[in-house]
Structure 1
């Protein structure tokens, strides 16, 4: 890709960007949210037409860059979203849109199963039963099915991985890395887009860095020692601290939230307390009950037993409306589908949780609402500042800030952050971490659920470790290592603290 330029409504998204990828190379593409990565990939996919520049494959310029033409050239895309049908089998999912059929037009299920299993075995070096249902697979297995679906025709020359490990645990990510290296060994070129810089330095041969729509560097070699340099190239400045230190003032000793022997279909015997000024993390692998516990605290998942107390009063949360009324705010793990109303503006998404203060006699005070949203956008550095813009056009990090701004405008006392920096670049991540610490310093309670071990250890004061539906350990974070946390979540040999 040479001299790629693209503007949207007068705003330059890409300014003369170049990207060169060799056969059998894993090439990292990094940058902050809004740096231009997604726009560049969509131009390569034929979704957007560049204003200028050209794309060449195998030394030959593409006269027409359309989705069909790109597919014909052997360029494949593995998106962050899975788009798989739960009740389909693995084989059906791999061959969807390119099914094997008998002469009379009936599906040849036996051939599809045999060919899919052969692909997994010979290309990705794993064994996966073609008759298993999609709904029964792990997140890593789902990602591998997605890869097989893109590559099953045997014509792939370049594969683009867009945030492939976002939903994966560390052990699942290792399985995906092995599959990517197997593709590299077959001479397939790979573009790897990720916000996790430790992954970039671990798996990529070269790295291109974008900032504000421009290509600022291409590094011909990277290793773990280059992470600070990559961060500085991405954000244009040195990040002195990723995590803000806690305030010298200790948190309150009087709990605001108390869980006493809480239980449901997914967890049991949950006991802990959360006091104002505290940031408490919940760690646990997929299936540990962590996600269901978070949902239950917001009235989204039914409780079967136990007592939940808020400010000393026993309550039964039956809906999010009731949870909000009790002072609980949730930043959900799936911001796109569960946190934002995509067609609405940034201002409407910020103001939606506090209509009373921005209306009179049931009518919205539009200018007051706009000024309120603009003030919060400036406070959280939401970019661009145009609060009338539809929220769906914002980058992931800025969308996350919109949800945080919504609850900052409310009178919430407990902030539940579920995977708060999933798909968010390192610059925005630092801002979210500092904002979270400010909430605690102002006497709010913060509960963080995350699959990112470094995030939990760096952000939280103490951690609750869940395994198989129970809290198996409660540990302070000041001397905790990532290996130690992984041992606790997976049932390893580290000492557990009840």
Structure 2
């Protein structure tokens, strides 16, 4: 262990938080000591974000206690949590591009002088703080838009700490949007804060960062703290992964007896000039190909580019040997690409419309005569799709808003099945759906592949990817770090690859 500390900077004990139909926290506990960096890890949905919002006073828990500096807060509110010295550094920057560094650091907490704002004093204080506390030389008159992502993150840190009252700093995925060389600047700044006795809660999916910087680590799973690692060593990543997963592959995944055909989809040197670059992938017809990656890996941006929602700045895409132009979503659909989006309620459906209206949106021209929709033909097609996908209720006139998450996802899929697409892109296909609906969606994906479609699945759930995919490409910081074949696909190995834990382990044995 990297040092024992007797005091507690904050303690959350037996916290319960319930949302309609979901127990997000089920007796979760967490404590952080002064002068330590305490890691908090867990899969998506484990309760990490919820407990941070409880600590911030944004959510009021149904049970449990909150103590900061030994004092109980009942209730904890944003104001009294801030007064107790707790500061939060979120993934989003919330900085104004045309503000200077000084203006950004002091936004909302400006220093007044006899003739108005004490601009010179604020600049001196901002530059001194950035240099002495965070270890970076940055002119106070530099515009935010003219500095790099790591410098912007440190300006965000300075803004939270400039008043000098911070005792606890919560870093929530601070390095997600940063490139590898930029991460070191943030790591060095955190180490300096630790030496000043500030308690730090470090929340990250990147296990290589957790093992690099943290003194202790708490693992959350399904709304509870399931493991506390009192000693952090270079080789604990596999144990962290095991604690995070805590489950075996479920029996509801379909049997895979397919033999994929020839390469149908080629992606060569694809880049958007910002989030990812140099992507080379080949996908066979009848293959289910997974794309794994954390927030900031470029995974979501790659999916959007393949569907024409983002512009590619470099590289090419071809299908069955023919070049594909993915400049708009409409053009992508014309060329056989369809997307089942990650946010189905906002991007995939018109919630006020019926199942029939949503399911036939992509085939209006096929169901129309003389400019008018042939309702009888559209109804017949919808009823066929309802039966094929087992959409419930089995009513074409049902309003989509009132369907369950799983049935809403089926309606999105029904629209594209009616279109006879050649490439199906599933982006987080089972987020917010129950276990039964997941099993049905996986079976549908398997059937698409059996019929010879190219299927891409972008997902943050490693269990899902291992359960349904033939191969998985792992993205880290805008590039494909490796591709794992089905024979080698294991949940712990995939989690290690996406979090960088395997790189850490390989480096230790080099």
Q: Identify the TM-score tier after normalising by the shorter chain.
A: 0.5 to 0.7
Structure 1 CA distance, aligned partners of 2:203 and 2:244?
A: 13
Residue 87 of structure 1 is aligned with which of 76, 98, 105?
98
The equivalent residue for 1:127 is 137
> Does the alignment pair 1:341 with 2:359?
no
Q: CA RMSD in A?
A: 5.9
Whole-angstrom CA distance in 1 between matches of 2:40 and 2:304? 34
The reply to whether residue 322 of structure 1 matches residue 331 of structure 2 is: yes
Is 1:142 the counterpart of 2:142? The answer is no
Matches within 5 A, 1:383-422: 388=402, 406=412, 410-411=416-417, 412-414=421-423
Cα deviation digits, residues 274-313 of structure 1 (max 9, x gap): 6535789999xxxxx9999876643345689998654455
- Indicate how the Cα distance of structure 1 residues 374 and 291 shifts in structure 2: closer, same or farther if over 3 A, else same: closer
User: How far is the alpha carbon of 1:85 from its aligned partner?
Assistant: 1.7
Q: Which runs of 5+ in 2 are unaligned?
A: 1-11, 293-297, 365-373, 393-399, 432-438, 460-464, 489-495, 501-510
**Distance in 2 between the 1:358 and 1:2 partners?**
54
Is the partner of 2:192 in helix, strand or coil? Answer: helix
Residues in 1 aligned to 2:37 and 2:415: alpha-carbon distance in whole angstroms: 44
For 1:16, which of 27, 52, 60 is the aligned residue?
27
CA distance in 2, matches of 1:210, 1:76: 22
Q: SS of the counterpart of 1:410?
A: helix
User: 2:52 matched to 1:41?
Assistant: yes
Check the 8 A contact 1:350/1:373 in 2, yes or no.
Answer: no
Using a 3 Å threshold, how does the CA distance of structure 1 residues 74 and 258 change in structure 2: closer, same or farther? closer
- CA–CA distance in structure 2, aligned partners of residues 154 and 295 of structure 1: 42
Give the unaligned 5+ runs of structure 1.
284-288, 378-385, 392-397, 424-430, 451-455, 487-498
Q: Does 1:298 align with 2:307?
A: yes
For 1:247 and 1:64, the matched residues in 2 are separated by 56
Structure 1 residues 97 and 417, CA gap change in structure 2 (3 angstroms): farther
Report what 1:361 is aligned to. Answer: 375
Larger Rg: 2
Task: Identify the residue that residue 205 of structure 2 maps to in structure 1.
Answer: 195
**Equivalent pair of 1:461/1:477 in contact (CA under 8 Å):** yes
User: In the alignment, is the contact (CA less than 8 A) between 1:350 and 1:403 conserved in 2?
Assistant: no
CA distance in 2 between partners of 1:29 and 1:131 (Å) = 36
Aligned to 2:370: none
- The structure-2 alpha-carbon separation of the partners of 1:410 and 1:226, relative to structure 1 and needing over 3 Å to count, comes to farther
1:189 and 1:14 map into 2 onto residues whose CA distance is 23
Q: Aligned-pair distance for 1:330?
A: 5.1
C-alpha deviation, 1:209, in angstroms? 2.1
Q: Aligned to 1:237, what secondary structure does the other structure show?
A: coil
- Following superposition, the deviation at residue 163 of structure 1 comes to 1.7
Question: Which residue of the other structure, out of 196, 207, 211, is the alignment partner of 1:186?
Answer: 196
Secondary structure at the counterpart of residue 416 of structure 2: coil
Cα deviation, 1:375-409, whole Å, max 9, x if unaligned, reads: 699xxxxxxxx995898xxxxxx9xxx98995697
- Please tell me whether residue 212 in structure 1 is matched to residue 218 in structure 2: no
| 8 Å contact kept, 2:42–2:220 | yes
How far apart in 2 are the matches of 1:193 and 1:369? 47
**For residues 314 and 144 of structure 1, do their structure 2 counterparts lie closer, same or farther at Cα, with a shift above 3 Å needed?**
same
Structure 1 residue 47, shift from structure 2 partner: 0.6
Contact 1:117 1:129 in 2 (8 A): yes
Aligned pair 1:105/2:116, yes or no? yes
CA contact (8 A) 1:209 1:217 kept: yes
Structure 2 SS opposite 1:119: helix
Match of 1:154 in 2: 164
Q: Alignment partner of 1:28: what SS?
A: strand
How many angstroms does 1:252 deviate by? 0.5
Match of 1:27 in 2: 38
Distance 1:247 1:443 in 2: 13
- Size of the aligned set, in residue pairs, is 443
Task: Specify the SS of the correspondent of 2:225.
Answer: strand
Asked whether the 8 Å contact 1:353–1:407 carries over to 2, the reply is: no
Distance 1:186 1:87, change over 3 A: same
Assess if the C-alpha contact under 8 Å between 2:286 and 2:450 holds in 1.
Answer: yes
Query: Given the superposition, is the C-alpha separation of residues 216 and 376 from structure 1 closer, same or farther in structure 2, using an over 3 Å criterion?
Result: farther
Supply the distance in 1 between the matched residues of 2:27 and 2:219 (Cα, whole angstroms): 13
Give the alignment's TM-score, normalised by structure 2: 0.65
Q: Are the equivalent residues in 1 in contact too, given 2:215–2:232 (CA < 8 A)?
A: yes
Between 1:184-193 and 1:302-311, the stretch displaced more is 302-311
Deviation at 1:128, TM superposition (A): 2.4
Residues 215-254 of structure 1: matches in 2 within 5 Å? 215-237=225-247, 249=259, 251-253=261-263
- Deviation (angstroms), 1:116: 1.9
